[in-house]
Amino acid sequence: MLEIDDLLFRYPGQPAETTGWRFKVSIQEGECVALTGPSGCGKSTLLNLVAGFLTPAGGDIRWQGQSLGPLPPWERPVTTVFQEQNLFDHLTVAENIGLGLHPGLGLSKTQWSQIKAALEGVNLGGFGNRKAENLSGGQRQRVAVVRALLRPQPILLLDEPMTGLDDENRAILQGQLQQARHQGKTLVLVSHDSRDRQALADREVTDFYHAW
């Protein structure tokens, strides 16, 4: 289970008298939960806290009973697809995905073949050797999802993962994410598009945030 347990957070510089957040939600292993709420309620903030990109002022995040608090982002059992994809423009598509598997790109032949096959699975067959800088927004988004899906981490944090996709590619990525869930991954989804939430989420959670 992924437990967000009274996690307290306020952005640096936010005056102490203004309201911060107290996040609380539990997500079962293998579940896909959509966090929903009005713009600005803290959905992306919570994903950044779980990923370890922001530091809470109190409370805890536990995965299978172990606190993630002491772990830096790269040691957490988490992989992310965020709105800004941070692909390295000067690297190829395959290298960008490979970096998610090994920081020095020390990949086996089998892993390079997996990357090639995964790209074919999202309509990007033949794109492996292209520089990321030459991709459209929707293509970049698909590369980012492939990179996340190939990583072994059990928790996938998805912040608007379908941005910029046409209907065909949206359906393809929905299928890939459903497959990941059936393989046992735990998905936390933030999407303004109800089609994604309906296609993917087991339940929508609206009461994950409270005033602190």
Ligand X SMILES: Nc1ncnc2c1ncn2[C@@H]1O[C@H](COP(=O)(O)OP(=O)(O)OP(=O)(O)O)[C@@H](O)[C@H]1O
**Separation between Cα atoms, residue 197 and residue 186, nearest integer Å:** 15
Nearer to ligand X, 85 or 176 (CB): 85
- C-beta of 111: minimal distance to ligand X in Å? 33
Strand order in the sheet with 66-67: 66-67, 58-63, 2-9, 21-27, 209-211
- C-beta of 45: minimal distance to ligand X in Å? 3
- C-beta of 24: minimal distance to ligand X in Å? 16
Nearer to ligand X, 36 or 176 (CB): 36
Query: Across 131-172, where does the E strand assignment appear?
Result: 155-159
Nearer to ligand X, 10 or 131 (CB): 10
Nearer to ligand X, 39 or 110 (CB): 39
Report the interface residues with ligand X, using CB under 6 A.
11, 39-45
Nearest alpha carbon to residue 90 among 130, 35, 39: 130
Place of tokens 């790109």: 105
- C-beta of 156: minimal distance to ligand X in Å? 17
